[in-house]
Structure 1
Amino acid sequence: MLRTLSLALSFGAIMSLAVAMPSRARAIEIQEVTSPKGITAWLVEDDTVPIVNMQFAFRGGSVQDPADKSGLANLASGLLDEGAGDLDSKAFQTRLDNLNIKLSFDTGRDAFYGSMKTLTANADEAFNLTKLALTEPRFDDEPVARIKAQILSKLRSDETDPNELARRAWAKTLFGDHPYARTGDGTEESVEELTGADLKGFAERNLARDNLVVAVVGAIDAETLKGRLDEVFGDLPEKADLKPIADVTAAAGKTAHVDLPVPQTSIRLGGPGIKRDDPDFIPAYIADHILGGGTFSSRFYREIREERGLAYSVGTSLVPFDHAGVWVGAAATRADAAQEAVDLMVKEVKDMAENGPTDEELADAKSYLTGNYALRFDSSGKIAKQLLAIQLDHLGIDYVDKRNELINAVTREDVQRAAKRVYGEPPSVITVGPAAS
């Protein structure tokens, strides 16, 4: 399948963001490539530089961690490139470094991610090392102990980090006993108990062909990629053994406070949102931009930072998980101003729910969001990440063609309707800092 995507860059958008890019439209051809073993990838051929960038993901993520083994996916992400096949950790890492191959893994709540970038001259070795990491990881005692120690050190540091404590309390308050309430990093107790056998079990259950998504950008053609896909992923199990995850509605109207003797109070707001496949997601995305997502133009920024100087950084975001829609607002301010900041944030959320945006706010948001979109495609790495995200969200190979049209078609009534759905209930409020006097 072949799609041609025209990404027009306006002079105004470029200048406002101080990004030096061509002002002419760029045409990007996305090909849907399927290997002989049935592995599908989206490909953008680009021979400008002799580099191949591959981004891939396995649906599942940290929500698949057993309740008593939280942090398992995160630990695995740090160990897949620490020895595989007949190469121990040092030999594997030396091979990557000597050939300037960038291979890494990471986990989110709903997916486990991998990334590989190589010069075409070293492509044979790069694809082979990626295959070994996925199909023959060693999980030797030394690297397991070393990476666990790094994670444990971070977990101990997090115990005095206001932002991390606020993030944890926000998840627990909104999601209760659902897997989304657990931190993907795990706890000191759970990480200490993880073993090489646990890691092997993770790889066997989670890394398979049926939950795999792949995007490739660079100096490689479709026929060559077909062979590479089978080479890297063809020996993985056909089906993943994923446990079902229930949908959950985030809690509204709850409050929580974590006492911490620090000068500032970290604030998190949140509540039920909508998932990515909801017809109101684009209008809600615009509402979020106006409320707090637009860094220098949002209501939160204007009212809380510019007008009153209560916070250096303040904002909101929609978080469309696979099994829940949620929104989050965040700020940090001096402890004696925390309640004032919370009150202002809640007031703006309520006003957005009841009245929606002004015509001027809607026009400005559309202009920014459509003009800025092309900047997500100004490098091979960014293109690959965008194509991966579009596939994970089931948006279709023509989404980049349609995305700005979808935004421009949104009316003020659409945004007001979506804003009422997302912000209509009182938000849950979480604070971390000194106890209120």
Structure 2
Amino acid sequence: MIRYHRIFGLASAALAAALLMAPSAQAMTKIERVVSPGGIEAWLVREPSVPLIALEFSFKGGANQDPAGRPGVAYMTAAALDEGAGDLDSKAFQARAERNAVEMSFRASRDEVRGSLKVLSNRRDEGFELLRLALNAPRFDPEPIERIRAQMLTALKRETTSPNVIGSRLWWSAAFPNHPYSLPTNGTLESVPAITRDDITGYVGRVLARDNLKVGVVGDIDAESLGKLLDQVFGSLPAKADLRDVPKIRPDVLGKRLEVQLDVPQTVVAFGGLGIARKDPDFIPAFIVNHILGGGSFSSRLYSEVREKRGLAYSVYSYLLPLDAASLFMGGTQTRADKADEAVGLIEKEIKRLAEDGPTFDELERSKSYIQGSYALNFDTSTKIASQLVQLQVDDLGIDYWERRNGLIDAVTLADVKRVANRLLNGGVLFTLVGRTQPATTAKQGG
């Protein structure tokens, strides 16, 4: 969930302009490791010419830390953190944020709770103080909690007829039975009404701690000032998180096809299998292999076979999804009901062909060039750079990864991608189809 406050007035116009600016390419390579007087670490890209501070942070332990039988707690917690804190109720908190052009957001994924702050340099103290209050003294008053609960339930009811959501939920529940990954991050129609304020405060107390915190900062601030603000915002959080162990798991029922009958114009296809961990030495070759298969958009094999040659779909794609407890290879498409079997057959055929034969030398070289050249798109705003600083820490890739990345890609050989293509794509794929299909293994609607 990503939630931005609306902001108004001259300050907001200045913030909007600053958000479009980014540090220079030279500044991007100058990452400082800042350690606060209290021992809190952050990575900083300083750029005095941008009158903005963008801060991104992550706490390990997202929806996988939801209480047993209560999926949706992390999601609701993230939605409620900025709905009043300290002496400020929800309206007062948001009014103060609007007056000072402060943008703040929180969201929960399977493995993380993430947050962000964007504030003009001359409103820095106000922005960081609001963030301190949200993290250390959230109110969780009844009115915003019930409003958020109602919004979540409305969305969940809408999702019961969404083929994309039905297919996704079916895939995750089938791939990871009896595991936290089997449950939807935004909860269920049964669990959300049962979530209590105690669930939320208990979650905050267990997850939001200093030892599982990663911070990235970009903009007009020096290391000394940042160190003081880190202690102000995060220094009073618990020293250690109380995280429940999430067991490592491999996706189940690979090689199967699960179908749900739903009267919709197009059949939605989702597929996935075993991937490769982010810190595995084979991840970079696997990233190239996936680009060739379905990650390269208009240049990929799946796009060529499914869309260009046969016109079966508007888009077809694949991607790598390394999680804390599982590493996945995922993808999807949408097509006419009477063409679903053909589309799935083509996807299976291309996966098998690439696994057995590997990429060509030309495909390898084109993919390397694109992957290296397009990486800069991740750094065209301060907020994107801050997010990347955090991701590099979460993935434990090292503060010099930006400098090493192109060399790692250059070093990949044709033998590497042939070997890794077989490793990545030869383990079987689980397909889910939702729409007007011919039932093979039929599942209950909604998964």
| TM-score bin, normalised by smaller chain | over 0.9
The offset of 1:24, in angstroms, is 7.9
The offset of 1:23, in angstroms, is 11
Partner letter of residue 350 of structure 2?
E
Q: What pairs up with 1:149-160 in 2 under 5 angstroms? A: 149-160=150-161
Partner letter of residue 174 of structure 1?
A
Alignment-derived partner of residue 321 in structure 2 = 319
* Residues 15-63 of structure 1: per-residue CA shift (max 9 Å, x gap): xxxxx99998665310000011110000000112211000000001111
Distance in 2 between residues matched to 1:262 and 1:190, nearest whole Å: 27
1:173/1:254 contact within 8 Å kept: no
Distance in 1 between residues matched to 2:399 and 2:199, nearest whole Å: 37
Report the count of equivalent residues: 418
* Stretches (4+) displaced over 3 A: 20-27
Distance in 2 between residues matched to 1:26 and 1:47, nearest whole Å: 10
Return closer, same or farther for 1:258/1:321 CA change in 2, 3 Å cut-off: same
Q: Counterpart of 1:188 in 2: which secondary structure?
A: coil
The offset of 1:426, in angstroms, is 2.4
RMSD value over aligned CA atoms?
1.5
Q: Counterpart of 2:29 in 1: which secondary structure?
A: strand
* Residues 395-414 of structure 1: per-residue CA shift (max 9 Å, x gap): 01011111111111101111
Return closer, same or farther for 1:25/1:229 CA change in 2, 3 Å cut-off: closer
Alignment-derived partner of residue 329 in structure 1 = 331
1:259/1:433 contact within 8 Å kept: yes
Distance in 1 between residues matched to 2:39 and 2:22, nearest whole Å: 37
2:275/2:327 contact within 8 Å kept: yes
Alignment-derived partner of residue 263 in structure 1 = 265
The reply to whether residue 49 of structure 1 matches residue 50 of structure 2 is: yes
The offset of 1:379, in angstroms, is 1.4
Distance in 2 between residues matched to 1:25 and 1:214, nearest whole Å: 21
Distance in 2 between residues matched to 1:25 and 1:337, nearest whole Å: 50
Alignment-derived partner of residue 32 in structure 1 = 33
Q: Which runs of 5+ in 2 are unaligned?
A: 1-20, 440-447
Q: Counterpart of 2:415 in 1: which secondary structure?
A: helix
Q: What pairs up with 1:129-148 in 2 under 5 angstroms? A: 129-148=130-149
Partner letter of residue 428 of structure 1?
L
Partner letter of residue 364 of structure 2?
L
Q: Counterpart of 1:238 in 2: which secondary structure?
A: coil
Q: Which runs of 5+ in 1 are unaligned?
A: 1-19
* Residues 317-353 of structure 1: per-residue CA shift (max 9 Å, x gap): 0110011111112000010100000000000000111
Partner letter of residue 434 of structure 2?
V
The offset of 1:268, in angstroms, is 0.9
The offset of 1:254, in angstroms, is 2.2
Q: Counterpart of 1:296 in 2: which secondary structure?
A: helix
The reply to whether residue 387 of structure 1 matches residue 384 of structure 2 is: no
Partner letter of residue 286 of structure 2?
A
The reply to whether residue 121 of structure 1 matches residue 129 of structure 2 is: no
Distance in 2 between residues matched to 1:28 and 1:408, nearest whole Å: 19
Alignment-derived partner of residue 15 in structure 2 = none
Distance in 1 between residues matched to 2:107 and 2:32, nearest whole Å: 26
Alignment-derived partner of residue 98 in structure 1 = 99
Q: What pairs up with 1:191-340 in 2 under 5 angstroms? A: 191-251=192-252, 252-340=254-342
Distance in 2 between residues matched to 1:377 and 1:109, nearest whole Å: 25
2:23/2:219 contact within 8 Å kept: no
The offset of 1:382, in angstroms, is 1.0
Distance in 2 between residues matched to 1:24 and 1:331, nearest whole Å: 36
1:366 to 368, 372, 387: 368
Distance in 2 between residues matched to 1:40 and 1:88, nearest whole Å: 31
Distance in 2 between residues matched to 1:259 and 1:219, nearest whole Å: 54
Partner letter of residue 81 of structure 2?
L
TM-score, normalised via structure 2 length: 0.91
The alignment-based identity, stated in percent, is 51
Q: Counterpart of 2:297 in 1: which secondary structure?
A: coil
